[in-house]
């Protein structure tokens, strides 16, 4: 990619003056001038590729500039003081944040890895853009991993699939998460990857006609309703199919990998109007409807999900969403980073949207054991959520396997601390009872009751564990 190409892509979504970006390009190119990558290419090719990924996610100029220079402090002779004077505090902080992560030098599967990962999350908590730059850096390194020795490929792929891909998922950047998973899968299990890739391509070619027929039929009915919309088809990433095969213990041929369609419109009210049209024309599959618009996922994802039967007898999954929701589903956190785009404060609700992430990071700071941290990190990344109702009809999203203790702490710390049991669907249940989506849960409390140590092994969420630890510490029942 050349500079004029990068600027052209940046100007597609931003009116910012690009003087800083142009200077960052020249500065990085000069700083890395005599360095080469394992592929034999000039090192700057990697810097430009990271910037291109960030522009693809429509990041602000400071982030793209930091992406161009993300290795300058680590790999060149330029000092921190000189860099700060050249580019100012904001870009310096972004590059220094990425450099901190680089310096951690993960090992692959031991206790130290958990501790390093924890340090990274906490070090970057001040500015989530640092994590987005690091993800772009890792994605391009995965794309060029074939130039490294096999041992290094395995180490980097394992780290990517177990830590970086889940983090991209937590930030809602599904496009990036899927590509990272598939690239890791390719290096970790090359034979399975090649075999599955060939079978998936063949299946997709066979089903393309079927999908096209369904689209034509769908368009015919939707066009009559005067609701603006566009229809996209989607293919599942290979790694998610592979995981399904392992989970269900079935070969590829027996996996019911439903065909997927996305319908994108201009407003929430039109999402429901289109859903009505779809259900009036095609028979819905019982129990397949989920409303993530009324109750969004933890990472801001919103859509209506339904499955219907096509004339051919195949099941088609349909997701209906607005353009804004579609951007969020593709770019996640990055889609909301607008406060620097031309007008100041273009997304006034950014803080509110990022609040769940900040709160989560605060909870994680409270965990003393690295192993517990990594377990909690993975639990909270689970986006297969259950939805539990309070007696007043409010809905609380929780990870699969959550218990009444987790639920109690989502309502209020005092309710959690004095919980002695729960009524689930009007029947008494133990505090370690695994809740299911749709359960109505009422927490039973006793005024002088208090959290017990064994609750730490019952609670599934970082939030609940943090509150329990805090109470036990304050009352001398837990040593740091």
User: What are the residue numbers of the active site?
Assistant: 74-75
**Rounded distance between C-alpha atoms, residue 47 and residue 119, angstroms:** 25
Cβ proximity of 53 and 330 under 8 Å: no
Dihedral (C-alpha) 217, 222, 228, 232: value to the nearest 10 degrees? Answer: -30
DSSP 225-272: TT--EEEEEE---HHHHHHHHHHHT--GGG----EEEEEEESSHHHHH
For residue 54, give the nearest of 173, 182, 145 by alpha carbon: 173
State whether the Cα torsion 356-359-361-367 is positive or negative.
negative
**Rounded distance between C-alpha atoms, residue 156 and residue 74, angstroms:** 19
**Rounded distance between C-alpha atoms, residue 229 and residue 60, angstroms:** 29
The owner of tokens 């780290």 is 159
Count the residues in the chain: 480
For residue 155, give the nearest of 172, 138, 136 by alpha carbon: 138
Quote the tokens at residue 406: 């987790």
């Amino acid at each position: 990619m050349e500079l004029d190409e990068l600027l052209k892509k940046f100007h597609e979504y931003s009116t910012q003056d690009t003087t800083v970006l142009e200077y960052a390009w020249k500065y990085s190119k000069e700083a890395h001038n005599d360095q080469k990558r394992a592929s034999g290419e000039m090192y700057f090719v990697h810097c430009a590729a990271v910037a291109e990924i960030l522009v693809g996610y429509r990041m602000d100029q400071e982030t793209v500039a930091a992406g161009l220079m993300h290795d300058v402090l680590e790999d060149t002779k330029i000092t921190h003081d000189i860099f700060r004077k050249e580019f100012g505090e904001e870009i310096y902080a972004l590059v220094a944040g990425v450099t901190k992560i680089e310096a951690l030098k993960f090992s692959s599967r031991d206790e130290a890895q958990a501790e390093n990962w924890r340090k990274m999350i906490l070090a970057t908590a001040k500015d989530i853009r640092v994590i987005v730059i690091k993800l772009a850096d890792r994605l391009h390194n995965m794309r060029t991993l074939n130039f490294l020795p096999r041992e290094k490929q395995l180490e980097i792929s394992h780290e990517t699939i177990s830590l970086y891909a889940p983090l991209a998922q937590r930030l809602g950047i599904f496009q990036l998460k899927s590509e990272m998973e598939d690239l890791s899968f390719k290096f970790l299990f090359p034979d399975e990857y090649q075999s599955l890739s060939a079978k998936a391509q063949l299946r997709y070619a066979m089903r393309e006609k079927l999908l096209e027929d369904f689209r034509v039929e769908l368009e015919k009915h939707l066009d009559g309703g005067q609701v603006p919309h566009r229809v996209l088809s989607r293919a599942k990433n290979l790694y998610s199919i592979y995981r399904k095969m392992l989970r269900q213990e079935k070969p590829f041929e027996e996996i019911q990998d439903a065909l997927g369609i996305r319908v994108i419109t201009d407003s929430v009210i039109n999402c429901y109007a289109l859903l009505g049209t779809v259900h009036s024309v095609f028979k819905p599959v019982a129990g397949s409807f989920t409303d993530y618009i009324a109750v969004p996922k933890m990472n801001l994802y919103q859509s209506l999900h339904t499955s219907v039967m096509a004339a051919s007898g195949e099941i088609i999954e349909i997701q209906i969403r607005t353009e804004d929701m579609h951007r969020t589903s593709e770019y996640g956190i990055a889609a909301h980073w607008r406060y620097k785009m031309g007008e100041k404060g273009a997304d006034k609700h950014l803080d509110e949207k990022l609040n769940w992430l900040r709160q989560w990071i605060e909870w994680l700071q409270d965990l003393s054991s690295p192993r517990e941290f990594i377990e909690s990190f993975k639990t909270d990344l689970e986006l297969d959520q259950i939805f539990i109702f309070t007696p007043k009809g409010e809905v609380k999203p929780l990870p699969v396997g959550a218990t009444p203790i987790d639920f109690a702490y989502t309502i209020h710390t005092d309710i959690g601390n004095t919980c002695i049991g729960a009524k689930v669907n009007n029947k008494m249940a133990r505090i370690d009872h695994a809740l299911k989506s749709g359960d109505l849960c009422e927490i039973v409390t006793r005024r002088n009751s208090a959290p017990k140590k064994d609750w730490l092994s019952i609670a599934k969420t970082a939030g609940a564990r943090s509150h329990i630890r805090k109470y036990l510490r304050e009352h001398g029942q837990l040593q740091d």
